[in-house]
Amino acid sequence: MEITEKIKTALKNANNIGLFTGDNPDKDAIGSTLAIFFALKDIGKNVFLVNPASIQKINNVLPKTNQNRVMFSFLGEASEIFYEKLANRTNVYLTPSSGLIEPNSFFCETTTEKRDAIQNETKSFDLLLTLGIHDYKIIEKNFAENPDALFECNIINIDNNIGNQNYGDINFIEDYPCLSQTVACFISRLDKTYQSKKSLSFLLFGLYNSPQNNRTKKNFITFKWLIDNNGNFDFINVDEKKPNPELKIMEETIRNLDKSFLKQFDIGVSFLKEDIFNLTGATSQDLTFTFEKMKNFFHLSSFVLLWKDSKNSVKGIFYSNTKELAELIKSQYKGSFKENRGIIILNEPDLLKAKADIVSHFIKKTF
C-alpha cells in the first residue's frame, strides 16, 4: 500500500492520537506541531501533546483561553460534598456540619480565568506522531516510566533529517531544510479536510521563523501553496494584538503571484488590489518590506510588484539579478532607476493588464 494511503488509514482508525516533539522545540518545530495538532483537532480527532517539557514553549505562541466557572459558596463547615451528572444538568450536594441551613449562608457566582490553550495530558493513545525526532532513544527516555505505551500504539515518524532511524510503523522522511516544509508535504498529501486555515497558518509560522537559512525556490513555492489554500501570516508575530500591515501586504503579494511563471523562470510578478491599503492600514512605505523579503529572504532572481497610487495610476517596484531583464524593464517603462532596481510608471490603468504586459516582456526576453 502506498505510504499516503497507509497514513490516511492510520489516522482514520485512530481514536486517541498523541503528538511528540522535542523538549526544547524551536519555532520551526512549534509551527509543525501546531499544524498537525489543528489539522487533526479541526476534523474532530482526539489529539493531544504527550511531552510535557515542550508544552510551555508551544503555548507561548498561542493566545490564552478563557475558562468560565461557576463557584458555589457555603458560609460554614461541610461534613459531606458530592455531585451527580444527569443528562442536561449537574447537581451539587452539600451537608452542613451543624445540620442548619440559613437562607443567606450560601450563594454562587461565575468566574473567568486565563489558562494555557493546550494542557498537559496523561491519556493513553493508540497512534503516536513524532515530529523531528531522529533517534528513538529520545522517545524511549520520555516514556521510561510507562514503556508499555509505546508497544500498544502505532507510530508515524515525520522528520526532515535523512539520518532518521526509521523507527516508525510508517516513516515519512523528506529531506527539506525545515521540518515545517516536510509537514506541509505531509498535509498536502492528505484530504482537503486536513488543511484547515489554522493548520496551514502555523506552517507559515514555522517556515517564516525557521532557524535554517537555506531559502530555496521550492521553499517559496510551499509558502504560496499555503497562502493559496487559505493560510495566513496572522500568527507570525504572536506578541502583536493585530496582524502587521507589512506582513499582510507580503501575504497578498504572494497570493497574487503568477504561479506558473514563478515555477518556470524563478521570476515573481504580482500586484496589490486597490482596497488592500484600506483593509490593512498599510501605506506605500510598507512595500519596501515585501521588496526586501523577496530579494533577501526568498531569493527570487527577479521581482515586480504593481499597485495603484492615490491618483489611480499603476506603479511598480522591481529588481532583477539578471542585467538583461533589468535593462528590459528600464527600456520599456518610465520611472526612477538605480542599477538593477527601481520604480516604474505604467500607461495601462488596469492592474491585471499591466501585469500581463510585464509578463509578456519577460517571456519574450527569456525565450
What percent of the chain clears pLDDT 90, i.e. is strictly above it?
48
Determine the pLDDT at residue 204.
Answer: 94
Examine the pLDDT at 241 and tell me if it is beyond 60: no
CB 118 within 8 A of CB 62: yes
Asked if residue 308 is part of any domain, the answer here is yes
Give the Cα-Cα-Cα angle 300, 304, 309 (nearest 5 degrees). 145
| Max Cα-Cα span within the chain | 96
In three-state secondary structure terms, 14 is coil
Q: With a threshold of 0.85, does the pTM exceed it?
A: no
* Cα–Cα distance, 48 to 110 (Å, whole number): 28
Last residue of a domain, one of 179, 194, 228: 228
More confident residue, 181 or 62: 181
Task: Find the mean pLDDT for residues 301-318.
Answer: 88
217 and 86 belong to one structural domain: no
Asked if residue 238 is part of any domain, the answer here is no
214 and 269 belong to one structural domain: no
CATH no. for residue 250? Answer: 3.10.310.30
DSSP string, 290-330: HHHIIIIIS--SEEEEEEE-TTS-EEEEEEESSHHHHHHHH
Determine the pLDDT at residue 7.
Answer: 96
Q: Which residues contact 252 (CB under 8 A, 6 or more apart)?
A: 272, 273, 276, 280
71 and 145 belong to one structural domain: no
111 and 147 belong to one structural domain: no
Give, in order, the Cα–Cα distances in Å from 126 to each of 53, 54, 71, 130, 186: 21, 21, 36, 13, 20
* Cα–Cα distance, 285 to 281 (Å, whole number): 11
Asked if residue 328 is part of any domain, the answer here is yes
Number of domains in the chain: 3
CB 157 within 8 A of CB 3: no
Asked if residue 235 is part of any domain, the answer here is no
* Cα–Cα distance, 50 to 107 (Å, whole number): 39
Domain assignment of residue 91, given as a range: 65-115
Grid cell listed for 271: 500586484
Task: Find the mean pLDDT for residues 236-245.
Answer: 63
| Mean pLDDT for all residues in the chain | 87
* Cα–Cα distance, 361 to 363 (Å, whole number): 6
Determine the pLDDT at residue 103.
Answer: 78
Grid cell listed for 310: 492615490
Determine the pLDDT at residue 213.
Answer: 55
Last residue of a domain, one of 81, 99, 115: 115
More confident residue, 212 or 270: 270
192 and 299 belong to one structural domain: no
Asked if residue 351 is part of any domain, the answer here is yes
75 and 159 belong to one structural domain: no
Grid cell listed for 74: 457555603
Examine the pLDDT at 267 and tell me if it is beyond 90: no
177 and 96 belong to one structural domain: no
286 and 333 belong to one structural domain: yes
Q: Comparing 174-183, 332-341, 356-365, which segment has the lowest mean pLDDT?
A: 356-365
Determine the pLDDT at residue 350.
Answer: 87
Q: Comparing 21-25, 60-64, 273-277, 323-327, which segment has the lowest mean pLDDT?
A: 60-64
Determine the pLDDT at residue 20.
Answer: 95
Kindly indicate the confidence band of residue 243, based on its pLDDT and cuts at 50, 70 and 90.
Answer: low
Kindly indicate the confidence band of residue 284, based on its pLDDT and cuts at 50, 70 and 90.
Answer: confident
Determine the pLDDT at residue 217.
Answer: 65
57 and 85 belong to one structural domain: no
Examine the pLDDT at 117 and tell me if it is beyond 90: no
Task: Find the mean pLDDT for residues 156-185.
Answer: 95
Give, in order, the Cα–Cα distances in Å from 62 to each of 46, 58, 115, 132, 233: 19, 7, 11, 21, 14
87 and 126 belong to one structural domain: no
72 and 42 belong to one structural domain: no
217 and 77 belong to one structural domain: no
Asked if residue 332 is part of any domain, the answer here is yes
**Residue pLDDT, tens place only, 40-55:** 999 999 999 999 889 8
* Cα–Cα distance, 259 to 14 (Å, whole number): 37
Examine the pLDDT at 262 and tell me if it is beyond 80: no
Determine the pLDDT at residue 211.
Answer: 79
CATH no. for residue 198? Answer: 3.90.1640.10
Of 203, 211, 226, whose CA–CA distance to 177 is shortest?
A: 211
Examine the pLDDT at 14 and tell me if it is beyond 70: yes
Examine the pLDDT at 365 and tell me if it is beyond 70: no
What percent of the chain clears pLDDT 70, i.e. is strictly above it?
92
Examine the pLDDT at 141 and tell me if it is beyond 70: yes
